[in-house]
Structure 1
Amino acid sequence: MSTRFQVGSTAAARVTIGEAMDRLVRGGLPLRLTAYDGSSAGPPTADVGLHLRSERGLAYLVTAPGDLGLARAYVSGELDLTGVHPGDPYDAVVLLKDHTRFRVPAPSEALAIVRSLGLSRLRPPAPPPQEHLPRWRRTVEGLRHSMMRDAEVIAHHYDLSNRFYELVLGPSMAYTCALYETPDATLEEAQAAKFDLVCRKLDLRPGQRLLDVGCGWGSMVRHAAREYGVRVLGVTLSLEQAQWAKEAIDREGLGDLAEVRHLDYRDVVETGFDAVSSIGLTEHVGVRNYPAYFTHLRDRLRPGGRLLNHSITRRANQRKETGAFIDRYVFPDGELIGSGTIIAAAQDRGLEVQHSENLRLHYAATLRDWNRNLVEHWDECVAEVGEGSARVWGLYIAASRVGFERGEVELHQVLATRNHDDGRSDFPMRPHW
């Protein structure tokens, strides 16, 4: 690292890729980087590293500094991780978490880097096919969170491959935070415990009616019907999820109690439900739509009925867009906000909030187990969706796990009631679960 820029001279010392990256990354490289030009940077003894394979990968990094450029290079296969499995890059993500942005160099330093690396000849390469359009270009698909646009972005994420989801999520096909009642609980045990907690919070009883909005593959629908004898209607915007759920209901012989429709929750017209569960839908609704969302769900309930809203939240209530990687590759148009905003929105629409619970660390454990499943079934996952998409999922799950561990995001269950006109809630003096 003895190279120095000759400021004020007509020429500058040549800069390798390794030197450039070590100087540009804020705080320096926390892991070992090797590059196609033979250079390297970062701690020589690091167990985890990056290998930049091509000029195209370099172009991704420098034309979209930060997590988006890293994602593009990694997903396209132009950047490899060493020392970790692509199905579980958790150790690499922990190291890179605060080292993904470039510092702004002095003009003379920037010019020397550009000249040395030949970047003046580079143009931003086309992004990998797994990347969704940027937010500003999605306007052609309709207004944000319109029914048409929501259907398109939901299909982008959920209509990937039911078989792929079976491999990653496991037999429960539950794509939401589980509940680990003991440290050694399996993923399946934890998912069953989560659904049972929801049922107990809703005080479900045989013969009652439950509406499950954003039902996914029907895991909650089937659990409530099978274990509590409840008549359940589930709705999802994903056609593949709805088809899988219907087949699962038939396999389990639950057709007399359970139904799943390919439908936007806003198109549910039935009323008088004893309970409504929303598990992992609020993230897709949009904060500005919370008033309409809670109004619609409240109106589906009978007086005295209960609503359980289970969703990822932020630790604060300020509006903040999701990062570029998550928005382009995982949840287009997804929005997160603090649990206080969710509670206030429910209260403002006439619901009485009875209980709120944070399951943040349970989600970190859930993500850990999804990564394990992806590693175990890596070859089959790659055969099913391609290596690029499999890499997206490994990175997304690991990065999300770090976010939950650090408290940057949380998971809140908010329980509310639609009270009778005289103020009765039919809720006990103390929680019964």
Structure 2
Amino acid sequence: MSWEQQGYGYGQGYGDGYGYGYGQDHGYSEYAQQPRPQQYGEYGYGVPEATAPMPVVEPEPEPPVTAAPADAEAEEEKPPPRPPGRDRYFDTLRAVALIRVVTYHTFGWAWAGMVFPSMGIMFGLAGTLMAKSLERPAPKVIRSRLRRLLPPFWFWGVFVVLAMLVHDWMPGWQIVFWVVPLGDPPGNAWGEQAWEILWYLRTYLWFVLLSPLLLRVFRLAPVPVLLLSLAPIVVLHSLWEPPDDRLGSALTDLATFLFCWILGFAHRDGVLERLKPFAVVVLSLAAIGFGGWYAFTHQAETGSYDLDDIPLAQAFWSAGYVLLLMWAKSYFGIDFAWLTRFRRTDRIVTVFNSRAVTIYLWHEIALILAVPLIDRFWDVPAFEKWLPLESQWFMFGVGWVLIAVFVLVCGWVEDVAGKRKPQLLPGGRAARMGP
């Protein structure tokens, strides 16, 4: 349900992936209307906790050995090392999901969520990483997740809140949600496009807090619990309408993506690889078929078949789509290890995963800033003549340039939050020793 319907003055409809807050005016057509924010996202990439190093035993000194030129050249061609425990298949899915989020917020294509349901995928990836982390004590895992999520959010929030205060925003007690986003942080219409994407962080945070209980229940009866995880969204749609407030919105988001989160548990515990391929394919296609059918037959309610506007369709389409991706990973052992042979592509995937929160939080601001920046280009005759200033594709490119700037300027906060050495860009070649 839209924020406007909830009485908070928020946008209309639901957002991508599903980021609530979108209506029919997607895209940046003629630059007259900024696209509604998306969700995106996902945070949810896990960085293993640092472990205490083993005692180092100094070896006996040996005579220096001069590497042959061929050996040195081979060393130069080696791909940069990746953090231990990373899975290139999951990392690639997360990178593509973030790209799809930015693309959707630029063009507003209703079919984008059907081609690649980014938020369902990101919740599924986050679920499997959370199940892996919960092999350690739950309080420690939750503290670690909060530590990695909240500082980048606070850093970004300082700029957004100050900008809204300058533009006549008067906050109430709900400003506490700018400290811990257990509910959607408030804001004014001027900054709506920037803060509307925070539904994803709120939903992710609740899933993290509920995961110790959810994982325990899941392990009592894995397959039945997985199938029943679609029941809440059916109940909310058919039997009980949630309240038009922050609580109702949070319940709807949790119900929509609960299956994807539990599916992450199933992947981690090896449940998916034990399922029969025929059953998985049939159930996945049935869920996708129902989600698509419901979206196309209920366009009159939202004015579009966009899954982000239709929670029930979003839940089933994402469930079937993500189930296929997760099952294929388990059944066929897909790992995308070959990606390391393409050093530049592998580096891009590393940057997207290490800076996922930064890209998600700052991408809408980058798209907002792209519009006045392009407006200035019209004052330069050469730009006006030779550049496609009216094209949304041009704005898409400018937006990515600005996102790259934000990654360079603000991404270090994620390193600090993760107790890592701050870097401009992660995944680079280790410094070479010697002259």
TM-score, normalization: structure 2?
A: 0.25
TM-score, normalization: structure 1?
A: 0.25
Q: Which has the higher helix share?
A: 2
Higher RCO (CA < 8 A, seq sep 6+): 2
